[in-house]
Amino acid sequence: MNRFLFAAPLLFLPSAFEKVAEFFAPAEYTTRPAAVRMPAAAKALKGTKTTATVSDVVNAANAFMASLTTAQQATLIQTFNQTNVTKWSNLPVSAGSRLGLQLSTLTAAQQALALAVVQAATGTVAGDGYNEVQQIRAADDNLTANGGGSAYGSGIYLLAFLGTPSLTGTWMLQFGGHHLATNITYTNGAVAGASPKFEATEPLTFTTANANVFPTGTVCAPIANEASAMLAMLNGLTATQKTTARLSQTFNDVVLGPNGNGQFPATKVGLQVSTLTAAQQALVVEAMRPWVQDSDDATAASLMSTYTNELATTYIAYSGTGNLTTSGDYVRIDGRTVWIEFICQGGIVYQSQIHYHTIWRDHARDYGGNFYTTVTGTKSATAAERFSVYPNPISAGQALQVQLANPATAGTYTLRNALGQAVLTDTFRGAGVEVPIANMAAGMYLLSVQADGAAPATQRVTVE
């Protein structure tokens, strides 16, 4: 009997964010293209009721590092900088295209520990998050078995840490290989960015013929949630709306792939979501969800709230047939911060079929907002070396504490809202200052601190 497997989660205690994650849990998808219909067994699967914290990720990373030799650790841990964060690709692994340790070079025990890190850092929803990572790896085994050659395989995926995993400072987790790039940036014990995230699949559906990733006979359909949600969004438009949303350009791949860092178009195109009905806007929200919930559940809930609040300035657009069945069929969601692309391409190994490429980026949060941002970039990594803020996130009514690495004789802080407007500013001296936020509305803010004439440093602050 064929089985669709949702890999068993690590045994974590329930997160403090569990109720938030449940509130933003995905609705049942109602419209699926026939070619990517989820297996019947998969429909009954639900996401787990537990999710990992950043502490869990760091603990899993430390356990993995402890299993490695000194030489392996040197390969795993790289410098967090503008060059290294872009070492990812959608293509099969080649020399220099990625950093870190390849799974196939590890012992079985080390592989299990490496994948435990990835599982802790990603979402728990069936068909997305860690389950989808595993399906994409299994798809590469399918390509190998069907004439793809030795360039493909579930073992040809690499894990790297840019910086040392910690609850202080900034570091990044990279995991990827063919058709997969996971880039998650952490700053001071919080997820600062869960993008760029590239994911794709060839073929669209398949049944595993070995037990490398899932038990033999497991039915897989990676990217099925994404395809069905995008199709539902397009099918919810009227003919007139589709005319407005349709682009005159043709596409053969995503625009902002591996070489598209910071190259967001200056002008948004297509159909503005603020002109849609409430039901149609809800479909746009659901179209974003499968990508966002690839990140850990708490981060996904927070980002979905942000992206939903930004719907008025979000645009949707498409090219091709709009049916997501033909090479060149393309869909885009472009908001104040969210950017998602989906495209159908001709098959490489299965040449009579199409396959999917997708990318999720964030105008402000790619690589944690440290590089290539187009919405008030924060340069968090540098800022974290100069001052820390806590608690962050913070509840309204609490006082935000700022601690400087070096005391200042003349300091100034400025708190700006998401539009860049200064809402609070004051001067201080010494090694720290308390920033009153009792009357601040919930949302993301940017706190800039300037000390003794040095250039200001900026970090994000989230008020809940």
259 and 358, same domain (yes or no): yes
- 431 lies in which domain range? 380-463
Asked if 287 and 389 sit in the same domain, the reply is: no
Any domain includes 244:
yes
**Separation between Cα atoms, residue 45 and residue 264, nearest integer Å:** 37
> Is the residue at 43 inside a domain?
no
Note the pLDDT tens digit of each residue in 247-305.
999 999 999 999 898 889 889 999 999 999 999 999 999 999 999 999 999 999 999 99
| pLDDT over 90 (residue 172) | yes
Instruction: Determine the pLDDT at residue 32.
Output: 37
pLDDT of 206 > 50? The answer is: yes
Whether residue 446 sits in one domain with residue 310: no
> Do 414 and 354 share a structural domain?
no
pLDDT of residue 165: 97
pTM for the full model? 0.74
Residue 244 and residue 289 in one domain: yes
Residue 281 falls within a domain, yes or no?
yes
User: What CATH number corresponds to the domain at position 421?
Assistant: 2.60.40.3080
The domain boundary residue, chosen from 369, 394, 422: 369
Same domain, 238 and 202: yes
Tell me: do 188 and 221 sit in the same domain: yes
| One domain for residues 330 and 395 | no
Give the domain-ending residue among 318, 343, 369: 369
Q: Given pLDDT bands bounded at 50, 70 and 90, which one contains residue 9?
A: very low
Q: Report yes or no on 120 lying in a domain.
A: yes
The answer to whether residue 55 sits within a structural domain is yes
Number of domains in the chain: 2
Task: Give the pLDDT of residue 416.
Answer: 81
Residues 53 and 186 in one domain: yes
Does 375 reside within a domain? no
pLDDT score for 321: 97
Q: Which tops the pLDDT comparison, 40 or 438? A: 438
Pair (283, 316) in one structural domain: yes
The two tokens of residue 297 are 């559940």
Q: Is residue 238 situated within a structural domain?
A: yes
Residues 412 and 319 in one domain: no
* Residue that terminates a domain, selected from 369, 403, 432: 369
Per-residue pLDDT tens for 364-396?
Answer: 999 998 887 665 434 554 555 578 888 888 887
Q: Is residue 211 part of a domain?
A: yes
User: Are 323 and 438 in the same domain?
Assistant: no
